[in-house]
Structure 1
Amino acid sequence: MINYFQKCFLLTILLLFGWSKTAISQSESSIESQKSYLELPVETFNDTKRILLSPAKWKGKDWALAAGAVSLTALSFTVDDEIQEWSQQSFSTTGDAVAKYIGEPFGNPIIVVGGSFVIYTVAKISHHPEISDPTLTAFKATLIAGGATGLIKILAHRARPDENIPPDSWDWGGPSFSMDNLSFVSGHSATAFALAASMSTYYKDHRWVTWVTYPLATVTALSRVYDNRHWFSDVVGGAVLGIFIGKTVAMPDKYKWGIAPNSKGGTSMSFTYSF
């Protein structure tokens, strides 16, 4: 079975190949078209930088929310064993179907990141910004969430519930490049909530988006516990991470500096201020 890092590596190679092919084909037609396609890697880099630097701009309310999120994640560790035991006694045909056909695809990084990339590309080629703009936001948020999740996994190396008999929620291996024990945090949960947060923030005037995407993300997170692939704290941590990344990517930044395409088809440093 292809593990998490193999999936991420394969997806990254495919996306980079897509970027290079697109850039080459566009350079043969016009510099202006090439600039529009350079925004994928360029904006992903800039948003990653913005996420890392965002705490420097936080105010009291932001720090309070961060403290609450960290506290919630910490408290979730105290109920890991109880929830794991209960979830493994609650199987049903309906639960199996929901986990397989709703929870799995909505949080699968191959489906979500790859799907948003394909939709973005088609919409961009056909000149439909009403589709390409939000899918670009979703792509960046879920791709960055996947990268952050992978980094945390290799630093933590927490054993999954189904990797030990009996399950041990306190089996942490610490930093290594082993492909085992990659439970914390949940990649499916982080991906699903990054998608939900980015879309609900982008479509903030359409409340139905929030009422659709967040329940789907919650189902995804709980399905990972139901399938015995994650502890409850894994999916809570993934949700917190995904929401933070999704909202930051989708939220306009008053001050922006970073790499941007230039008129010669290359890239340069830029700074913008929005009123």
Structure 2
Amino acid sequence: MQSERIRILIILFFSLCAPCLGYCQETDTLVNQLDSLREVKQEIGTQPLNTDQSFYTETTDINLKSYFILLGSNLKQEVAGPFHSSRKTWTKVGIAALIEAGLLFLDKPVQREAVKITADRPALQKTSKYITDFGGLYEAYTLAAFGLYGWLFKNNKFQTTTLLASQSYITGALMQFSLKTLSGRERPNYIDPAIGHPSPTWKGPFADLGSTNSAFPSGHTTVAFAAATVYAMEYRKHIIFPIIAYSAASLIGISRLTENRHWVSDVFAGAALGYVTGRQVVNNYHRYARLQNEKKRKGTLSYNLDYSQGVFMGSMTYTFR
């Protein structure tokens, strides 16, 4: 079993890093330009973003090629992010870590209360199951429907935002799976035969992942907040969008408690991971869009050679944009 887990870790490592290594070997690619822009340490919540409808044009559209380039860059920056963070960002991370540490002491009491609340309430159980499904595969279907809507009605901003949300979903899903693999934490619906009741035990990377040792972090909550953060940032000027996005993601997180699938610290960690992932994806796209707009603004220099009355005449033409 240990050898199988080692193979999984190796495959996971190379699946995350191989695209990034391939891009880094190219000297002047878009992804390297994205990385060079990122050399200035970014603080969470301080990067100015242009989210006006007019910003989303053919120049800043995401095509198939740029989608996967951005996705590879997202994965690389998600892993390398801690090495490029500012002191202020690290302070915020430290505060989140302290909250997470405090929630570890509330895991068992919150789990017991969540089970009590849903025990004799069939309607609540049904509603909880319905909500929790939207944090998994149903969310992917929802994003696909949103993308189709943006394409059919030629809403460039909504279509681009949904593509970014799908990138955030994928990035968050890969990151949470890697953390699940490394932590090997028991789920609250698993009764430990050695003690006769659930226990938030950490078994580490060599535990059998399965369905019992994959509690930390909450994957449903991670991808829910990853996508919600993208919509909240891109439509932050319309307060109703962030409210709806984060409310839906929070309900999914709560449903993981009422479904007895996660400890409260798992849910908080998933929400934090999803939030950070969503911000990183949006910021990365706007760096890409800035590069595209700068490229468009550059003029072009053309050389011409004309032949007239037995004489060759050369000329240069510079076109301003």
Q: TM-score range by the shorter chain?
A: 0.7 to 0.9
Distance 1:75 1:49, change over 3 A: same
1:121 CA drift (Å): 6.1
Matches within 5 A, 1:94-133: 94-105=123-134, 107-108=135-136, 110-117=137-144, 119-120=146-147, 123-124=150-151, 127-133=154-160
Aligned match of 1:222 in 236, 242, 254? 254
- Residue ranges of structure 2 left out of the alignment (5+ in a row): 1-7, 16-58, 293-321
Aligned match of 2:243 in 208, 211, 214? 211
Tell me what 2:113 maps to: 86
TM-score by length of 2: 0.63
**Structure 2 Cα separation of the partners of residues 236 and 173 of structure 1:** 20
Aligned match of 1:179 in 196, 209, 213? 209
The AA in structure 2 aligned to 1:80 is D
SS of match in other structure, 2:117: coil
Aligned match of 1:236 in 240, 263, 268? 268
Count of equivalent residues: 224
Tell me what 1:167 maps to: 198
Higher relative contact order (CA 8 A, sep 6+): 1
SS of match in other structure, 1:184: coil
**Which deviates the most, 157-166 or 172-181?**
172-181
1:135 aligns with 2:167: no
Once the two structures are aligned, what percentage of the paired residues are identical? Answer: 23
1:74 CA drift (Å): 1.3
1:124 CA drift (Å): 4.7
Matches within 5 A, 1:262-273: none
> Greater helix share, 1 or 2?
1
The AA in structure 2 aligned to 1:52 is V
**Structure 2 Cα separation of the partners of residues 98 and 85 of structure 1:** 19
**Structure 2 Cα separation of the partners of residues 239 and 156 of structure 1:** 17
Q: Please report the RMSD computed on the Cα atoms of aligned residues, expressed in angstroms.
A: 2.8
**Structure 1 Cα separation of the partners of residues 140 and 258 of structure 2:** 24
- Residue ranges of structure 1 left out of the alignment (5+ in a row): 13-31, 261-275
1:221 CA drift (Å): 0.8
> Residues 184 and 207 of structure 2 are in contact (CA less than 8 Å); yes or no, is this contact kept in structure 1?
no
Larger Rg: 2
**Structure 2 Cα separation of the partners of residues 48 and 121 of structure 1:** 25
Runs of 4+ in 1 over 4 A off after TM superposition: 121-127, 252-256
